[in-house]
């Protein structure tokens, strides 16, 4: 699927965060911390990217005791290719707008958490 239009600066932040480790599942809280986006911005972007087939989502299989299950996200093969093209084509100014706290800050899934399976 080709891109319908240019990605917003916020969508580019999400794509860049997911692209850092494209095969790994990431939860929304970690993506919010990495990108600096609030949930009201982040989750609609993730939904649109999933609707376009660029991101896949699933439920966490075995959350930590006392914690609810979370949605996990990662790029599809098409999403990784689209992210690479979009980020390479993005103006340098947009790439530089990524919050300083986001650079290199990732929270991995809890140790011992089971690998999710799509349902």
70 pLDDT exceeds 70? yes
Domain architecture of the chain: domains with CATH = 9-102 (1.10.10.10)
pLDDT (average), residues 49-62: 91
More confident residue, 93 or 48: 48
48 pLDDT exceeds 80? yes
What is d(CA 26, CA 116) in angstroms, rounded to the nearest whole number?
A: 10
- Model confidence at 97, pLDDT cuts 50, 70, 90, reads low
Burial of 45 (0-12, 13-18, 19+ CB in 10 A): buried
Q: What is the pLDDT of residue 100?
A: 43
Instruction: Report the greatest alpha carbon distance in the chain.
Output: 44
């Amino acid at each position: 699927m080709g891109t319908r239009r240019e990605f917003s600066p916020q969508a580019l932040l999400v794509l860049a965060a997911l692209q850092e480790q494209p095969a790994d599942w990431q939860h929304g809280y970690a993506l919010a911390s990495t990108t600096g986006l609030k949930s009201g911005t982040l989750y609609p972007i993730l939904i649109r990217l999933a609707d376009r087939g660029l991101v896949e989502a699933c439920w966490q299989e075995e959350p930590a005791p006392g914690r609810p299950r979370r949605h996990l996200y990662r790029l599809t093969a098409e999403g990784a290719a689209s992210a690479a093209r979009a980020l390479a084509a993005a103006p340098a100014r947009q790439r530089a707008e990524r919050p300083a706290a986001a650079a290199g800050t990732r929270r991995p899934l809890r140790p011992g958490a089971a690998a999710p399976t799509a349902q």
